[in-house]
Amino acid sequence: MVIKRFRLLDWWLNRKRSGIRRLSPAKGILVISSGGLGDTVLFAQVVERFLDLAKDGEPVTVVLRSDAMKMAFAMPPGIQAMGVDFHRLRQDLNYRRGITDSLFNAHYRLVVHTDYLRHPDLDEALVAAAQAPEAIAMEPRRWDKYDSRLRNNRRLYSRLFESGPPQLNKILRWARFADWLCGAERPILTMRLADELLVPAATLDVPPVVIQPFSAVKEKQSPPALYQRLIKSLPKGTRVVITGTRQDLEVNAEYKLLLELPGVELDDSVFEDLVPLLRAARLVISVDTALMHLAVAVGAPTLCLASAAFVGEIVPYDSAVAPLNARFIYHSMPCEGCLGSCIHPLEKGMFPCVARLDIDYIVDDVRRLINQSEDRA
């Protein structure tokens, strides 16, 4: 068996660190949340529950994946976000040493790992490097490739929490974990960022319909023809804003035809700068991606055209936490909850659960939601 160089580095550095005498008392909390952009929006709505663990104004640092730092603005005050590039952590030994040294030197009193799905060479390597007096986590999700190493890494933690079955809404799992840590059962959250933490809605003459058709997983994207029909079904004079990057358009050139329709424009702003637009929107229509989670969190009326891949874990939201502004449409299948590991052949380049979404039903639902927005106005 070939031993990875970064594992040798970790072994040597952690052995060296264990012999260093700490002169000052440990202070501060390190919270690890290594999910993607969407997970970070969701976690931002729960992280405040973990702040009760801080003593006497201790600093709280949340480790995020570097790509998820685009959503760090959603974190509540009092939290410092730290980005870690997991790709470089694996590939660049100097970077790995720098990151792990910084965590060790910070001398945290407590490390809380909030991920149910963990990687022994990435996020758990950060726990090992910190060498905090106490580290706590949930029992990890089964992962055949790494199960034996995850079991070995149990020694990193002083306590492990049994958070529930594999299929459980993430918000509920995090809330259970936080309540267990703090020794207090609190009311279930409704998924919403506090208004006082958000910039005001944009002042617009015509509230727009915002459409996010793009996903990092192309197989989750509905075809341009669906959005073309949706746009044409909107009331005359409706302003439509397509969100996404210029790169999204280049990779998905077939969607450029949407920008040729009357009243349709592209807004390629970063997530933080899109918040005023989302808060002013008449309706947001999106695939199940980070922008959809953000739109719901800031209070925008949101319709998600979802795959069935994350039923039970993320989308649709559990009824216990789902706010009234969130609406989900997905095609139910016996294999739903596959977490993206589709067992079926693609249909027209899409996952079958996406390809089988009922366009007529979606158009009717959009009309109903638009009418509701007019009634509220």
Which residues face 65 on adjacent strands? Answer: 84
Q: Residues 64, 70, 71, CA angle at the centre, nearest 5°?
A: 75
- In 3D space, the residue among 74, 86, 88 whose CA is nearest the CA of residue 198 turns out to be 74
pTM for this predicted structure: 0.95
Amino acid at 16: K
Instruction: 14-19: list long-range contacts, CB under 8 Å, 24+ apart.
Output: 14/128, 14/129, 14/131, 17/104, 17/129, 17/131, 18/131
SS3 state of residue 72:
helix
pLDDT of residue 283: 98
Q: Which of 283-287, 319-323, 369-373 has the lowest mean pLDDT?
A: 369-373
Read off the pLDDT of residues 128-139 as tens digits, 9 standing for 90 and up: 999 999 999 999
Asked whether residue 5 carries a pLDDT value surpassing 90, the answer given is: yes
Read off the pLDDT of residues 292-325 as tens digits, 9 standing for 90 and up: 999 999 999 999 999 999 999 999 999 999 999 9
pLDDT-based confidence at residue 58 (cuts at 50, 70, 90): very high
Over the chain, what is the mean pLDDT?
A: 95
Domains of the chain in sequence order: 5-182 (3.40.50.2000), 202-376 (3.40.50.2000)
Mean pLDDT of all residues in 204-213:
96
pLDDT of residue 1: 46
pLDDT-based confidence at residue 211 (cuts at 50, 70, 90): very high
Q: What percent of the chain shows pLDDT beyond 70?
A: 98
Read off the pLDDT of residues 81-114 as tens digits, 9 standing for 90 and up: 999 999 999 999 999 999 999 999 999 999 999 9
